[in-house]
Amino acid sequence: MSELRRVVQRGLWYEEFETDVLYEHRPGRTITEADNVLFTTMTMNTQALHLDAAFAETQEPFQQRLVNSMFTVSTLIGLSITQLTQGTLVGNLGFSEIAFPKPLFHGDTLYAETVVTEKRESKSRPGEGIVTLAHTGRNQHGDVVVTAIRKTLVRKRPS
């Protein structure tokens, strides 16, 4: 029997990123009450809108607990990792233009997509490039619940 060729799951090398492509990240992630409470308490966020169901039910306009927005943006980025930057990322350089147009609730499913808006070779770090990613998160109804721009430093393909 001949030896099998191995394929290791990874993100994209700098050269493989394409602008004007919509990268859809699947599967999505259904957000549970446990996810929200654990993240909120682990990060010392005492906001009652995340933790106190009785209080949240009295608050207009949603009258229910909201998923912590920091969990929402973290999950958005996390959903993109396997397809885009797993093992090829040097580091995040910054986040900007983070917005939460609609809330996320317990039981909602978050789906992520990304567009590469810019890429250039690093001037100071040979073998690496800077890739700017526009991430969008949608709930199961297609409503945009989070957007974020992320600037990353990514490795070039090894020679």
Q: What value, to the nearest 5°, has the Cα angle with vertex 11 and ends 2 and 5?
A: 5
Burial 109-120 (b: 16+ CB within 10 A, else e): ebbbbbebeebe
- By C-alpha distance, which of 134, 140, 147 is closest to 105? 140
pLDDT value at 159 more than 90: no
Residues in the chain: 159
Domains of the chain with bracketed CATH? 14-155 (3.10.129.10)
Give residue-wise pLDDT tens across range 67-101.
Answer: 999 999 999 999 999 999 999 999 999 999 999 99
Contact predicate 104/66, CB 8 Å: yes
pTM, to two decimals? 0.94
Residue 18: per-residue pLDDT: 96
Q: What percentage of residues in the chain have a pLDDT greater than 70? A: 100
Give residue-wise pLDDT tens across range 11-22.
Answer: 999 999 999 899
In the predicted model, what is the mean pLDDT of the chain? 97
Residue 46: per-residue pLDDT: 94
